[in-house]
Structure 1
Amino acid sequence: MKPRFEVADVLNYQHGQIEDLCANSWQARALYALAACRTAQLGGHIDRCDNPNCQALHMSYNSCRNRHCPKCQGHKREEWIRGREADLLNTAYFHVVFTLPQALNRLALYKPELLYALLFKTANSVIQSFAANHKFMGAKTGMIAILHTWGQNLSLHPHLHCIVPGGGMTAAGKWKPAKGNGKYLFPVKAMSKVFRARMMAALRKESHLQQPLAKKLVQTPWVVYCKQPFAGPQQVIEYMGRYTHKVAISNHRLSSVDLDSVSFTAKDYRKGGQEHVITLSHQEFIRRLSLHVLPKGFVRMRHYGILASSLKQKVRELVEQQIGKATIKERPPLKHRVCYTCGKGQLVTLITFDARGPPPLDLLVYLTPK
């Protein structure tokens, strides 16, 4: 169902002021792309259905393909899910979340690339250290980590969603499961303390941790959360698909947009996920949205250890020889461009056009089958 309101509506209301509401030109450029997505500004294409009983013509405007755009992630998510299912191991998987304390938000504003890179590096070092400990696993494990920077109210809330297999490879090439028989990974309280210590040490090394801030960070509890294992390997990918291509706010969360303000729904997880409505001025909404535009070229999803691209194929072959293949339910073929009229045929592009507009009507008539 198409949403009534879009993030682009708010951006277009303030189109001439976006630069003033962003911290840098890269953020403004991304938001302008979101505003132009699927409009005449980006040009478009005319497609015809290849179903002989339909052959309807459809005109569509081009997508911006920006990774922060709420309208451009659906197909990418489905492609990612299908591509990753082949990499699944026949073991339990755990969802681990590493969250930075609010005291580091100022650094996230001014040095996002540095802080987020350290977050990835430190989280991986914590996971690998606990995996190497014979009390818990005694092997090298892997991790898929995805950076999110937002909270439900669009405030700055940097955290990593990580998927960790419940086992690892020993130096001798043997698969070794975690001690909890797939029900338990590592102790989160101990992980939280190690995470805080290593992150602070990394920040000190980069000379970005002054004494007052260091004292505050020591007194603040750092949160590492580990959820119960997934029901099966395939559920892991389905679940991760929600996070890999998620953006700060979807169009479906917008409840109203008028000349001055925008309202959207948000869940309060401190109250059991209770939903409420937040209303912001256009300027404040855009300012908060801009906080979540990642630095140019920054990779927000990373693979580590035995799940890294250089190792995963070899590791999967070894694991399958020892504990078998993961059971994957076959999916129907993915259809990207299904005809909106008949719902059966595939759309074939006939003509593309730029921002000057589509071809004249007489050409469209000529293209229409007799």
Structure 2
Amino acid sequence: MNFKLLAGILLICSRDTIFTLCLNPKRLGAKPGIIAAFHSWMKTQAIHPHAHCLVSGGALNEAGEWAPVKGLYLFPFEAARDIFRGKMNDALKKAFEKGELVLPPDMSSQQFINLLNKLGRKKWNVKILKKYRHGNGVATYLARYLRGGPISNYRIKKVTETHVVFDCGREKLKLMTLPIDEFIERFLYHVPPPHAVLVRSYGLYAQTKKDNLNIARRALGQDRVGFPRKVIWQDVIKKTAPDKTICPTCGKPLIVTRVIPPFCRETKINSPPGTHGMIICGLH
């Protein structure tokens, strides 16, 4: 129920923590580029909401010069932990006061405030990794992690009529067995609601900062930002089934003339039987 709200709060507070520390003149004195991704799972498929932030190794200062990160780490762990904790607590309180946050049925308003106060006295978990030389490798790792979802097929080792056995280990094989109902329930916890934006870009990587990003790239001896060519469905099909892009009757390439949406409760429009957002193709 609170999925989109809490995911947004977590990403924004992560961003603001990084910006707050990096804007310090003793560090970068400017905002770096951030690619932030929200994850809600751990290897056992249990709920474990957290954010991964891929941060550029420097920033563009007000003079238009590249300011690199000093040392192996972006900033001290303790400072990030305390600032992040304060921003999260404050954001949750404001969301509750505005009526945006829905509490569990068995939790009162005072119990929620007491919980936040208790969490505010604890040491939170913030992990900061060393500066990494090859940014492409980090970006590729994060992209694969996102694409794979909560669990990849190869990690599911056995499925019976009653149970699912899967690998929940990190570096070594570690099998976990769950009843099918519980496994499905855990998996469905991590299915985001429609239109939830769980990967965001900030600072130098924001959509509105392309000019600044190109200035930074030039200062580092890199080419301007390149954008891949938009892939159309015909290109994809040509690689796997090239004959399916041609009309079997006239031999001309097929084109999209209409997309039938799936069933929509709001508009009461339904697709024809057996279709799920079917694409209707016509001829040139």
User: Which residue identity lines up with residue 132 of structure 1 in the other structure?
Assistant: L
1:244 maps to 2:140: no
Aligned to 2:125: 223
1:349 maps to 2:263: no
Identity of aligned residues (%): 31
C-alpha distance in structure 1 between counterparts of 2:140 and 2:57, whole Å: 18
Output the TM-score relative to the length of structure 1.
Answer: 0.57
1:9-60: CA deviations, max 9, x gaps? xxxxxxxxxxxxxxxxxxxxxxxxxxxxxxxxxxxxxxxxxxxxxxxxxxxx
Output the TM-score relative to the length of structure 2.
Answer: 0.73
The Cα of 1:158 is off from its aligned counterpart by: 0.5
State how 1:208-287 maps to structure 2 within 5 Å: 210-267=112-169, 273-287=171-185
Mapped contact 2:73–2:129 kept (Cα < 8 A): no
C-alpha distance in structure 1 between counterparts of 2:218 and 2:239, whole Å: 44
259-268 or 319-328, larger mean C-alpha shift: 319-328
Secondary structure at 1:245 match in 2: helix
1:298 maps to 2:177: no
1:91-140: CA deviations, max 9, x gaps? xxxxxxxxxxxxxxxxxxx4122111111111110011111001211112
1:199 maps to 2:110: no
The Cα of 1:176 is off from its aligned counterpart by: 1.1
C-alpha distance in structure 2 between counterparts of 1:356 and 1:189, whole Å: 56
- The count of aligned residue pairs is 231
The Cα of 1:302 is off from its aligned counterpart by: 0.3
Mapped contact 2:64–2:215 kept (Cα < 8 A): yes
1:160-179: CA deviations, max 9, x gaps? 11110011111222221122
The Cα of 1:274 is off from its aligned counterpart by: 3.8
Aligned to 1:11: none
| Compared CA separation, residues 257 and 347, structure 1 to 2 (3 A) | farther
User: Which residue identity lines up with residue 227 of structure 1 in the other structure?
Assistant: L
C-alpha distance in structure 2 between counterparts of 1:231 and 1:114, whole Å: 34
User: Which residue identity lines up with residue 125 of structure 1 in the other structure?
Assistant: D
Tell me how large the CA RMSD over aligned residues is. Answer: 2.7
The Cα of 1:338 is off from its aligned counterpart by: 7.0
C-alpha distance in structure 1 between counterparts of 2:53 and 2:124, whole Å: 16
| Compared CA separation, residues 200 and 150, structure 1 to 2 (3 A) | same
For 1:325, which of 222, 228, 248 is the aligned residue? 222
Aligned to 2:266: none
Secondary structure at 1:145 match in 2: strand
The Cα of 1:198 is off from its aligned counterpart by: 0.9
Secondary structure at 1:298 match in 2: coil
258-267 or 202-211, larger mean C-alpha shift: 202-211
**Which structure 2 segments of 5+ residues have no match?**
102-108, 226-230, 248-253, 255-271, 276-284
For 2:52, which of 161, 170, 173 is the aligned residue? 161
Mapped contact 2:238–2:245 kept (Cα < 8 A): no
The Cα of 1:255 is off from its aligned counterpart by: 0.6
C-alpha distance in structure 1 between counterparts of 2:62 and 2:183, whole Å: 51
C-alpha distance in structure 2 between counterparts of 1:338 and 1:350, whole Å: 10
Mapped contact 1:146–1:243 kept (Cα < 8 A): no
1:240-271: CA deviations, max 9, x gaps? 22233230111111111111111111116xxx
Question: Which fold has the larger relative contact order, with Cα–Cα distance below 8 Å and residues 6 or more apart in sequence?
Answer: 1
